[in-house]
Structure 1
Amino acid sequence: MFELRPDGLYQIKSNHPLLFLCGYLQVLAIARAYGQLHSYGLVIQWTNIDDRSIIKFIPMRWLHGENLKLLKDLLLDSGFKVTNLKNVWDLITQYLHESTSVPTRALVTETTGWLGQSYATAGWSVNCQDDELFYIGTAIDQLKQLGSLHSWQQHVGRLCEGNPLMVFACCTALAAPLLHWLNWDSCGFHLVGNSKSGKTTVLILSASILSDRSYCYTWRATANGLEAIATGRNDMLLCLDELHQANPDDVDQAIYMLANGVSKIRGSKEGFAAKTNRWRVGFLSTGEISLSETLAQIQKTVRAGQEARFIELPVARQYGAFDYLHSAMNSKEFAEMLDRNMAANHGTVFRAWIEYLSKQPNLAEYLRIELAKIREKLSKTQYGNQTGYALDRFALLALAGEMAIAAGIMPWEPNEAINSMRNLYECWLDNRGHHHDSEEHVLRRILAHALPHWGMGLVDPSQALQDGDVGYVVNDNDECEWFITKPAFRDGLQIQHVSQLSQRANMMKQRGWLITNEGAGRFEFKRQFPSGKPHDRYYRIFPSKIIRDLHLNTQVSQIKH
């Protein structure tokens, strides 16, 4: 006979005092692996010498013969307290055998994410099955919670309104568990921006849906452990900061590895192929340089598959990563307020979101139908495969956001997510296939060369553009304006890397050298000239101001056009 007390397990003998055997050890349930009709075992819970509670699944075979050594190793290596009685392990094994009559049945899983309508994480589960559900994998619980959902909505979520990149960050986290229901591969976004632009704050905002800022990793720190991290984030968001500090070779391999969702095939000690890990994640990355600039350091170019799986967005809003500062005086004050609020409110949204999703009938079919509708709202134009792939991902983010709004989880007005994703998708289209470098001295040198080149290819608005022409020259209110075509503008600015166009155009816009009528995040100017088409777009620049501000030794009147 045995008696389990809070301080440990005791043996009971008639006319003998209680005999202490070991620390607290309890059988919680008889379990089997999810989706299997074999692999039965016990879910056991014990307390180690540091008073830490541990829950593990042990196969039934560990209670017999030589396999008992595996149970001993597991318990002892964890710090389990055992007396030095000669037959103590025989007694512990007997106790476990007697405990197999426990009525509770359970399912166990080594992976996080969806199991039917249920969802498992290393720290908690949303269970929609009759049997209990236990996570027995190796991932560490990093889904920390602080504050309430309502508090997050008021102090963090509300600040996202009017800020497309912030809405995007939240929707990226919400969309990750939807990939499973659409049977889509992993996919990710990369935010490219200058130092102190607010991109890391946006990354932490995305993480706040699930946890605190410790949920974010840096590219450099995860080079060797990215497979394990991705496995522990299956059906969740993966946050990676500071691409510019990573080894380019590691990045080159990581993009495909993350998107493919399967670990490398390795051999076991016995010479057989070891078990491969699988995952499906949405990942969000940040950095001061683009993927193409990263790979250029090792004389490589971005492959089509990498570009599709690593959708790059410029961080070039009105105030860096932000458009609307709410009550803050400047972007620095706004970012600091957001950081404080996220430190006190995080991790509550994701569980509420998973609980909501787990209750939705026919979720996969619903997502497919609604996704097609939102795709039409984002763009009615038919594009090629790569552009369509990106459009689908922006549409998924918009759908996730709108569903969360309807569920009362996101504190935004309807269409906030759709409008934000439409804006960002159009920004992505503006920069698609083009590369950039952000150094200001490079822009100065390039403009000094580009202005004379552009000037010689300009024509009067009454004339039709011919081969070799770069745009129109217009004199309004004694101010000379140039409307440069998109190809000529990109050629003149020597665009070579994917983020150069937005960064250089944004730099010109901030200095008043370029204006747009296309809204935040875009830099083109829509205008119809007598010989042009109704929806033609140009880059509208002010050459005289550029010459004055850069102290160039030339005058607009000296430029032949």
Structure 2
Amino acid sequence: MTAATITTLVPDSAAAPVDRPEYRVYDHSITLDGSKLRAGVWFHGNREDKATGDRLPFDEWLCAPLHVDAVTRNEGQDGDYGRLLRFRNADNRWLTWAMPNELLAGKPDSILAVLLSMGLDIDYKRRSQVCQYIASQHPKRRVIAATSTGWHTSELFIMPRQNIGTGDAIFQSEAANGDDYRHGGTLSGWQANIGARCEGNPLLALSVCASLAGALLFHVQRQGGGFHIVGDSSTGKSSAILAGASVWGHGEDFKRTWRATGNGLEGIASQRNDTLLALDEIGEADPREIGAVVYAMANGTGKARASRNGAARAAKRWRVMLFSSGELGLSALMAEGGKRSRAGQEIRLLDISARRTYGAWDNLHGMAGGREFSDAIQRASVTDYGHAGPEFIRQLLASGDADKLPQWLASMGAKFPSASGQESRASERFALVALAGELAIKFGVLVIQPGTVQAAMLELFDVWRAGRGEGPSEDRQILRAIADFIARHGDTRFSGADDPHGEARDRAGYWEDAPSGRLFLFNRPGLEEAAKGYDLSRVVLALDSAGAITKREAGRAQVTKRLPDGTRPKLYFIDPAKLEPET
């Protein structure tokens, strides 16, 4: 049997003569050689009659109408090749799927599972022939394949089932039915039931506008990052998550939870590129892995992995705004797993308190209480959804001002004062959310007063700074760790310097009384253990910043002290009162 070819027919009551063997697609039922054939993909072949040796024609129906309209590939024409499939499902709807060619390298199941789940009727006995048919087609049309959602160029924003802007490209994925960017209800309904209620509710404004801000990351050339809403159970945190999710899709379906592996979250993040990654209940995350996951989600790069032949596979990449909630903050959750949070992690995922006037809310907009307000937000997120984000993109493109976004961000950032590099990174994220919110007001996506979002973000930034404290985060963590070590072991692992043989299990140093109070004289191993995870030079820098080292020799942070037994250890003289100045 020679390779089969396809001839696409204009629907007609009678088919043109067949050059067997041949695949054909009929969008309507036709008559061929006196036989009526239903719509679909047919294989017209010949089989040999064993008795006579004659070749007898036969016709096999494979599936409902399924066209291979184009070959897809990346702009460099050196990868991501695939087929653009167009087919009619069981509900008489025409659907498309940009199928990666790499699926043809495996068993037919991976292709058939997607087509069947999307409603394509397939003859079960001939299901493998459907994949043979797809592989045999080589259309002349070429289409750019986009392997992630979001901005493909500065003029084209790609979603699984719609493109916004100008350009010929299509989203290509192994899972064609994984589109969470659905919409329901109306934009006006969302504006009335969620958007308008941002007025007077900084946390609701943060959720909605952080969701919109994900679409600006491409233009301002910034990595992602996010916010973590911390508060007691049943305060409205999850409702805020749902409000942000409703900007791009169905609130419940677009939202995810932290109960996933790092690999699973990578896949979700790549599907949320240039939008929002909404994750509820951080308490469900593995406290031993959460720190690495936060780094990955914010930095936008997945793990490097090897293919079957050992070659490096392309790592997933994304840009997302992360919006999270939970009863514990990041550092508290990591502590449960015996880990210490790093400043980089805390800056990438900013803890924001949900302790407002009525749970997470301040303005109930005429409702009886915080619970009723939360319920209303939850209902709206699954009634009117998926409109605000796409409309924001359309208005941004229509304005022609996308190239001005870096300048506007710098101008907005100047309104968020910061005292350190870490604060500067946090302030820029608040400024980006404020910029997105004010643009949404300008575009008519948010129907609230201009300046509302900017004022709300300035308030939340001040709340975050007050809760964080002054100075670099590492300094506070180091000082707190040493203070905690002294509180736990001051009576068991230290003894008086005038009695060096006094009881001290696993000695960490000595103590001596001074006019200002008791000083703890750490030996080097003791100080390294107290601030485990930090380089000793960084520990000394933090102690110096607090003025906690009370004695030192020239050129070093230690003092050589002569003990009664004649030994001369080098010790760090630390005043515990300086480790926690707030007390």
Q: Quickly say closer, same or farther: Cα 1:224–1:11, change in 2 above 3 A.
A: closer
Partner of 1:157: 195
Equivalent position to 1:206, from 244, 259, 270:
244
Q: Tell me whether 1:8 sits opposite 2:47 in the alignment.
A: no
Q: Quickly say closer, same or farther: Cα 1:272–1:142, change in 2 above 3 A.
A: same
Q: Quickly say closer, same or farther: Cα 1:48–1:416, change in 2 above 3 A.
A: same
Q: Quickly say closer, same or farther: Cα 1:89–1:293, change in 2 above 3 A.
A: closer
- Measured in 2, the distance between the counterparts of 1:48 and 1:270 equals 38
Report SS of the residue matched to 2:185: coil
Q: How does 1:376-415 map to 2 (within 5 A)?
A: 376-379=414-417, 382-415=418-451
Alignment size in residue pairs: 424
- Measured in 1, the distance between the counterparts of 2:453 and 2:172 equals 33
- Give the letter for the 2:308 counterpart: K
Partner of 1:503: none
| Mapped contact 2:98–2:170 kept (Cα < 8 A) | no
Q: How does 1:36-47 map to 2 (within 5 A)?
A: 36=77, 41-46=82-87
Equivalent position to 2:363, from 313, 324, 328:
324
Equivalent position to 2:226, from 179, 184, 188:
188
- Measured in 1, the distance between the counterparts of 2:128 and 2:146 equals 33
Q: Tell me whether 1:421 sits opposite 2:457 in the alignment.
A: yes
Q: Quickly say closer, same or farther: Cα 1:428–1:35, change in 2 above 3 A.
A: farther
Q: How does 1:206-355 map to 2 (within 5 A)?
A: 206-211=244-249, 212-355=251-394
Q: Quickly say closer, same or farther: Cα 1:56–1:390, change in 2 above 3 A.
A: same
Partner of 1:29: 70
- Measured in 2, the distance between the counterparts of 1:39 and 1:426 equals 46
Q: Quickly say closer, same or farther: Cα 1:39–1:174, change in 2 above 3 A.
A: closer
Deviations along 1:429-485, whole A, 9 cap, x unmatched?
Answer: 11114899xxxxxxxxxxxxxxxxxxxxxxxxxxxxxxx9xxxxxxxxxxxxxxxxx
Moved more, 403-412 or 273-282: 273-282
- Give the letter for the 1:144 counterpart: R
- Give the letter for the 1:31 counterpart: T
- Measured in 2, the distance between the counterparts of 1:69 and 1:260 equals 32
- Give the letter for the 2:310 counterpart: G
Report SS of the residue matched to 1:344: coil
| Mapped contact 1:172–1:284 kept (Cα < 8 A) | yes
- Measured in 2, the distance between the counterparts of 1:243 and 1:165 equals 18
Q: Quickly say closer, same or farther: Cα 1:206–1:35, change in 2 above 3 A.
A: farther
- Give the letter for the 1:189 counterpart: F
- Give the letter for the 2:146 counterpart: T
Q: Tell me whether 1:171 sits opposite 2:209 in the alignment.
A: yes
- Measured in 2, the distance between the counterparts of 1:26 and 1:253 equals 44
| Mapped contact 1:110–1:138 kept (Cα < 8 A) | no
Q: Quickly say closer, same or farther: Cα 1:273–1:144, change in 2 above 3 A.
A: same
Q: Quickly say closer, same or farther: Cα 1:244–1:58, change in 2 above 3 A.
A: closer
- Measured in 2, the distance between the counterparts of 1:233 and 1:320 equals 29
- Measured in 2, the distance between the counterparts of 1:191 and 1:35 equals 42
Deviations along 1:340-399, whole A, 9 cap, x unmatched?
Answer: 222211111111112223344352x411211122223344xx521001111111100000
- Measured in 2, the distance between the counterparts of 1:370 and 1:332 equals 38
Deviations along 1:247-293, whole A, 9 cap, x unmatched?
Answer: 21121221111122111112211122222111111101111111111
Q: Quickly say closer, same or farther: Cα 1:114–1:407, change in 2 above 3 A.
A: same
- Measured in 2, the distance between the counterparts of 1:217 and 1:424 equals 24
Partner of 1:114: 151
Structure 1 residue 410: Cα displacement: 0.8
- Give the letter for the 1:25 counterpart: L
- Measured in 2, the distance between the counterparts of 1:93 and 1:290 equals 51
- Measured in 1, the distance between the counterparts of 2:339 and 2:206 equals 30
| Mapped contact 2:214–2:274 kept (Cα < 8 A) | yes
- Measured in 1, the distance between the counterparts of 2:452 and 2:287 equals 37
| Mapped contact 2:80–2:100 kept (Cα < 8 A) | no
Structure 1: 5+ residue stretches without partners: 437-467, 469-538, 540-561
Partner of 1:431: 467
Structure 1 residue 295: Cα displacement: 1.5
- Measured in 1, the distance between the counterparts of 2:40 and 2:307 equals 37
Structure 1 residue 12: Cα displacement: 6.8
- Measured in 2, the distance between the counterparts of 1:119 and 1:109 equals 10
Partner of 2:575: none
- Measured in 2, the distance between the counterparts of 1:124 and 1:291 equals 36
Moved more, 310-319 or 353-362: 353-362
Structure 1 residue 411: Cα displacement: 0.9
Structure 1 residue 299: Cα displacement: 2.9
Structure 1 residue 310: Cα displacement: 1.1
| Mapped contact 1:108–1:133 kept (Cα < 8 A) | yes
- Give the letter for the 1:361 counterpart: G
Structure 1 residue 58: Cα displacement: 5.0
- Measured in 1, the distance between the counterparts of 2:91 and 2:295 equals 41
Deviations along 1:94-128, whole A, 9 cap, x unmatched?
Answer: 9724xx24xx5421111111100211222322241
Q: Quickly say closer, same or farther: Cα 1:299–1:132, change in 2 above 3 A.
A: closer
Structure 1 residue 323: Cα displacement: 0.7
Q: Quickly say closer, same or farther: Cα 1:433–1:294, change in 2 above 3 A.
A: farther
Structure 1 residue 207: Cα displacement: 0.8
Q: Quickly say closer, same or farther: Cα 1:422–1:91, change in 2 above 3 A.
A: closer
Q: Quickly say closer, same or farther: Cα 1:414–1:77, change in 2 above 3 A.
A: closer
Provide TM-score, normalisation by structure 1.
0.68
Report SS of the residue matched to 1:248: coil
- Measured in 2, the distance between the counterparts of 1:24 and 1:175 equals 41
Q: Quickly say closer, same or farther: Cα 1:213–1:39, change in 2 above 3 A.
A: closer
- Give the letter for the 2:457 counterpart: M
Moved more, 78-87 or 162-171: 78-87
Q: Quickly say closer, same or farther: Cα 1:340–1:92, change in 2 above 3 A.
A: closer
- Measured in 2, the distance between the counterparts of 1:271 and 1:144 equals 38
Structure of greater relative contact order (alpha carbons < 8 Å, 6+ residues apart): 1
Structure 1 residue 239: Cα displacement: 0.9
- Measured in 1, the distance between the counterparts of 2:83 and 2:259 equals 39
Q: Quickly say closer, same or farther: Cα 1:418–1:68, change in 2 above 3 A.
A: closer
- Measured in 2, the distance between the counterparts of 1:138 and 1:84 equals 24
Partner of 1:57: 99
- What root-mean-square deviation, in Å, do the aligned CA atoms of Structure 1 and Structure 2 show? 3.3
Q: Quickly say closer, same or farther: Cα 1:317–1:30, change in 2 above 3 A.
A: same
- Measured in 2, the distance between the counterparts of 1:295 and 1:39 equals 39
Structure 1 residue 83: Cα displacement: 7.9
- Give the letter for the 1:383 counterpart: A
